[in-house]
Amino acid sequence: MKITVKLFASFRDGRFKVEERDTPAGTVCRQVVLELGLKEEELGVVMVNGRHAPLEQELQDGDSLALFPLVGGG
Amino acid sequence: MDKIFRVNMTNLTTRVETVPAAWAGHGGRGLTSTIVAAEVPADCHPLGLNNKLVFAPGLLSGTAAANSGRMSCGAKSPLTGTIKESNAGGTSAQMFARMGIKALIIEGLPADDKWYNLHLTKDGVTINEETALVGKGNFAVIDAVSERLGKKVGVITIGPAGEMKMASANISVKDPDSKIRSHGRGGLGAVMGSKKIKYISMDDAGAPGVTIADPEKFKTAARIFAKALLDHPVSGQGLPTYGTNVLVNVLNEAGGLPTKNFRYGQFAGADKISGETMHDTIVERGGKPKHGCHAGCIIQCSQVYMDKAGNYLTSGFEYETIWGLGADCCIDNLDDIALADHHMDDIGIDSIETAVMMGVAMEGGVLPFGDGKGVIRLIKDEIGKGTPLGRILGGGAAHVGKTFGVTRVPVVKGQGIPAYDPRSVKGIGITYATSTMGADHTAGYTIATNILGVGGSVDPLKKDGQVELSRNLQIATAAVDSTGMCIFVAFPALDIPECLPALIDMINARFGISLSGDDVTNLGKHILKLERAFNIGAGFTNMHDRLPEFFSEPVPPHNAVWDFTGEEIDEFWNF
């Protein structure tokens, strides 16, 4: 299945902004995070299709996974 | 010993007073609101004889505590009609504190048509007639005053918008680089303009400095506090690298980035105006990606943004400004937004109110959505020059909505709603609705918990827990705003257990007292209730704690609606 992965802030360093990836059915968010060489403790916000999601969430074909380090502002 | 400096512009006299016992435990917002509530009739005209303009540094300003250099300014607001506190960085808070000025109270109105400046030293205030700088922009005022009195003097000034008493006029403060930080919200520049004060200069030569009751205890707590600020990923890494503007992409992804005057929750041009793009542009052009708004700031979320030729364009270039002119007005050119920010700083108008107003003006057909050059022209040539159209625009979003018959007007109590859609980030909607200041994201920053995963997590699309969250954060914020601390200390304070106790320990060591966590919470509650009582006296009821009707329309991509009942919102005040 195809998913879109979007990376933000420091996660883009040495990686990419947006990438479409082929992943096997049943892939959960955590697997993508680990494949990208990101550590769980570095994660701030994980969103699937614009909604906050746990790392255990199973991705569906066409999903968009957004990963942010812990950031803030305001 | 701390003193109150009082200036009466009606008879052009000044006084140095001892601090009344009832005010001794207050600083920053707690003190400005206490003084306004005690001395300003709630039903007065904000630009009339009876309003007062109050400046107060925080309880920890002037000490070595990291990030303690915020200055509070308070009055009855010409924009909202409510009590108002607006705080800013710059050099003035530390200088006030070192000179022992607990508050500066400016009252009355001059009988003649002359303009004045005030000059503060440790010994008192002098009032001087001002002619040369009347009509000048803020950058010229700061340069000229520094030339007259020396580079080290502090300056608080208004631009042409304040002189013209526009309801969105701000008050600017000289920063450590002789550029500008602003008391942005609520039109306090118009109050200063009504009192015919163009600028306030200050010279802290020979000032006694701040006395610390228990220096060792203070040092230990200050070290723990600073470490927490640097250890937390938001205050230690994210903010200094990308600035507050890192939020564009986060809110866009969450569907909470108000776009085209709050019609959509996502903007196609978001990445072009994002913090990531801004960081790369600043580095490429030789600007500064990190910069402190006041001495002693270790977060350094500010920056210096250069134009294509490598010349200074703006600094303190914040998410809310970039969101407002960017997504909300559909302008995807960061250089246009930066130039607009420069002119807003110079003219002296709130960049949030002006950006929200421009979205409403676009809705009303004044100019097309996406017209960056048009926005720059309106700011510079209409608002800056006080043309009839400029005066309408300078009145703020609600004013422009009425003038052009627009119903999609994002304001609460007359103040423009900032950069987070309350339908898809429901917690911030409660803060907008109930804040004593009119719509204000900083009053109780529920974005931390709704979106960023700081201080726990509450689903932004659901109502559950939002009223309680906003209440807790507004109480805590009222207390933090009294310390002189930058609001971003809230990020480590929410996540790192040692942070908040260290902040309280610093206050205790500074004054030789023994406040507990409960005392601090009670202080926050007291301030909110005091401010609300003022607003009730000014004619506000719970019916003013409501969001505009158009928020019942679904906002894509989540098609979320604002679905709190009035009774649910009113629960906020149940403490």
pLDDT (0 to 100) of residue B488: 94
Residue A37 included in any domain: yes
- Residues of chain A with pLDDT > 90, as a percent, come to 93
**Residue type for position B333:** N
Cβ of B445 and A74 within 8 Å?
Answer: yes
Tokens (6 digits) for B563: 């679905």
pLDDT tens-digit profile of B251-272?
Answer: 999 999 999 999 999 999 999 9
Residue A74 has pLDDT above 90, yes or no: no
Whole-angstrom distance, CA of residue B352 vs CA of residue B319: 10
Q: Does B562 touch chain A (CB under 8 A)?
A: no
Total domains in chain A come to: 1
Residue A29 included in any domain: yes
pLDDT tens-digit profile of B550-574?
Answer: 999 999 999 999 999 999 999 999 9
B457: chain A residues, CB-CB within 8 Å: 52
Q: Does A12 touch chain B (CB under 8 A)?
A: yes
Please enumerate in sequence order all residues whose Cβ is within 8 A of that of B374, keeping only pairs 6 or more positions apart, or say none. B367, B368
pLDDT (0 to 100) of residue A67: 98
Cβ of B253 and A66 within 8 Å?
Answer: yes
pLDDT tens-digit profile of A48-62?
Answer: 999 999 999 999 999
User: Of B305, B307, B252, B257, whose CA–CA distance to A17 is shortest?
Assistant: B252
Tell me which chain A residue has its CA closest to the CA of residue B457: A52
Q: Give B492 to chain A, closest Cα distance, Å.
A: 11
Regions of chain B with pLDDT less than 50: none
Given A12, A50, A70, which is nearest B253 (Cβ)? A50
Tokens (6 digits) for B339: 């130039």
Q: Does A55 touch chain B (CB under 8 A)?
A: no
Whole-angstrom distance, CA of residue B207 vs CA of residue B319: 37
B432: chain A residues, CB-CB within 8 Å: none
Q: How many C-beta atoms lie closer than 10 Å to residue B131's C-beta?
A: 10
Tell me which chain B residue has its CA closest to the CA of residue A11: B276
Tell me which chain A residue has its CA closest to the CA of residue B444: A74
Cβ of B459 and A10 within 8 Å?
Answer: no
Tokens (6 digits) for B538: 């000014």
Tell me which chain B residue has its CA closest to the CA of residue A12: B276
DSSP letter for each residue of B490-514: HHHHHH-TTHHHHHHHHHHHHHT--
Cβ of B250 and A69 within 8 Å?
Answer: no
Residue A73 has pLDDT above 90, yes or no: no
Q: Does B455 touch chain A (CB under 8 A)?
A: no
Which 3 state secondary structure label does DSSP give B155? strand
- 3-state DSSP: chain B helix, strand, coil percent, rounded to 5? 45, 15, 40
Q: Does B238 touch chain A (CB under 8 A)?
A: yes
Cβ of B234 and A70 within 8 Å?
Answer: yes
Tokens (6 digits) for A27: 């892939």
Please enumerate in sequence order all residues whose Cβ is within 8 A of that of B296, keeping only pairs 6 or more positions apart, or say none. B64, B65, B66, B67, B68, B69, B94
User: Of B345, B334, B327, B297, whose CA–CA distance to B421 is shortest?
Assistant: B327
Residue A63 included in any domain: yes
Cβ of B461 and A71 within 8 Å?
Answer: no
**Whole domain around residue A56: which residue ranges?**
2-69
pLDDT (0 to 100) of residue A29: 98
Residue A74 included in any domain: no
Is the distance from CB of B446 to CB of B466 less than 8 angstroms? Answer: yes
Which 3 state secondary structure label does DSSP give B413? coil
pLDDT (0 to 100) of residue A72: 87
pLDDT tens-digit profile of A17-27?
Answer: 999 999 999 99
Cβ of B241 and A10 within 8 Å?
Answer: yes
Domain containing A52 — which CATH number? 3.10.20.30
Which 3 state secondary structure label does DSSP give B62? coil
